[in-house]
Copies of this chain bind each other. A is one copy, B any other.
């Protein structure tokens, strides 16, 4: 029992393949009697057109790619939901790729997506594969960057005001009387956390707080050295009374390390984290967080993608920057005197 083809439908409803195709695509008028005959046989036999054949002909695959670090990270998970919700509404399917922030994996996926002829790609660029991305764009694939933004790539982007996030987190702590505030971030250069650190430094400057070298704690991407880094930081002559974790991964590692070092939050040290995970209000103490609208970021990215897919022209890159929101809870209390 081979799958039905458009020829079968044509034969069984006494017409030609082209006419069947016409009712399928629905752009050209077809006589009512033929149309209904065709629709009947289609419904009766449960015929489904072969999308591969159609795509080969039309160049439209109705599929998108989504390349992120890790869906298991709630920030990207929510973003993925946003992308998917919009895609589904548009009748598009999304191919998911986790890159683990690894340029080679990213590259491999970019090529796979190109080969799969996706019409658009939402991705959090590692920054490494710009040439390939530009090639994709030249070949007609719509591209939207999320979370990070590579300048000069010429692709649309949807990001958070990361500098602003670092700024409000720091200003909040300073306003509560903290004078020595540590910032825990990656040692590797990564756009997102670097901008957050920029905001942190801007706020420190503004508050006339001298910034010692030791105040930024730079940890490896695998987070294995977080306990050691923190311990060193906290053993300094004048250790920080507050810490900012540059993202949610780092935040968990910091909390785990502080627990291990038997430092109580916020009594021994206050904490503000980036990303507001669902469970943070249940922690004891509840965590003060810089929240970003990750689901909305995903939606917006997908919407940019579709706008671009629909446009004929070479299109103008768009960009949207969402504002961070500081959710004040208990972990950022004033320093103990």
Q: Which residues of B contact A55 (CB under 8 A)?
A: 52
Whether A48 contacts B284 by the Cβ 8 Å rule is no
Partner of A61, one of B52, B53, B283: B52
A70 and B61 form a contact (CB under 8 A): no
In the bound assembly, the distance between CA atoms of A258 and B163 in angstroms comes to 37
Stretch binding the partner chain, chosen from A108-116, A189-197, A237-245, A304-312: A108-116
Give the distance to chain B from A44, nearest Cβ to Cβ, in Å: 15
List 23 contacting pairs A-B, 8 Å CB cutoff, sorted by A: A48-B111, A48-B115, A50-B56, A50-B117, A51-B117, A52-B52, A52-B61, A63-B116, A70-B81, A71-B71, A72-B80, A74-B74, A77-B77, A80-B96, A84-B98, A88-B108, A93-B97, A94-B95, A95-B95, A95-B96, A252-B278, A256-B281, A283-B283
Q: Does A25 contact B (CB under 8 A)?
A: no
A137: Cβ under 8 A from any B Cβ: no
Which residues of A does B touch, CB under 8 Å?
3, 48-53, 55-56, 61, 63, 66, 70-72, 74, 77-78, 80-81, 84, 88, 93-98, 108, 111-117, 139, 252, 255-256, 259, 277-279, 281-284
Instruction: For A80, list chain B residues within 8 Å (CB).
Output: 71-72, 96
| Number of identical monomers bound together in the oligomeric complex | 2
Contact B93–A94 (Cβ < 8 Å): no
Q: How many Å from the CB of A235 to the closest CB on chain B?
A: 23
Report Cα–Cα, A81/B48, bound state, in Å: 31
Residues A72 and B74 in contact, CB atoms below 8 Å apart:
yes
Cross-chain contact B84 with A97 (CB below 8 angstroms)? yes
Please pick, from B51, B72, B281, the residue contacting A81 in the complex, using a CB distance under 8 A. Answer: B72
With A48-B111, A52-B55, A88-B97 given, name 9 new contacts (CB 8 A). Answer: A48-B114, A49-B115, A52-B61, A52-B117, A63-B95, A72-B74, A94-B96, A95-B96, A279-B279
Q: A71-B80, A96-B96 are in contact. Are A56 and B52 (CB under 8 A)?
A: yes
When C-beta atoms are compared, the residue in chain B nearest to A64 turns out to be: B95
A129 to chain B, nearest CB (A): 15
Q: Is the CB of B116 within 8 A of A93?
A: yes
Contact of A259 with B283 at beta-carbon distance under 8 Å, contacts A53-B56, A115-B48, A115-B51 already known:
no
9 pairs of A and B residues whose beta carbons are closest in the complex: A284-B284, A72-B77, A96-B96, A52-B56, A51-B115, A93-B95, A71-B77, A71-B71, A52-B55
Residue of B with least CB distance to A259: B282
Bound-complex Cα distance A283 to B283 (A): 6
Q: Which of A50, A51, A52, A88 has the most CB of B within 10 A?
A: A52
